[in-house]
Amino acid sequence: MKPVAGHNELGRWGEVIARELLLTQGYAICGENIRISGVEIDFIATKDDVICFVEVKTRSTDFVDPVEAIDRRKRSRLVKAADSYMRQYEIPLEPRFDIVIIIGSPESYTIEHIPDAFLPSLNNR
Where does the chain show beta strands of DSSP type E?
Answer: 28-36, 39-47, 50-59, 94-105, 108-114
Output the average pLDDT for the chain. Answer: 88
pTM: 0.87
Cα distance between residue 23 and residue 8, in whole Å = 23
Cα distance between residue 29 and residue 36, in whole Å = 17
Query: N- to C-terminal Cα distance for the chain?
Result: 40
All domains of the chain, ordered by start, with CATH?
9-114 (3.40.1350.10)
- Report, as an integer, the average pLDDT of 25-38: 96
In terms of pLDDT, which residue wins out, 38 or 68? 38
pLDDT bracket for residue 125 (50, 70, 90): very low
56-85 residue pLDDT tens: 999 888 666 666 778 889 999 999 999 999
Of the candidates 67, 64, 58, the one whose C-alpha atom is nearest the C-alpha of residue 9 is 58
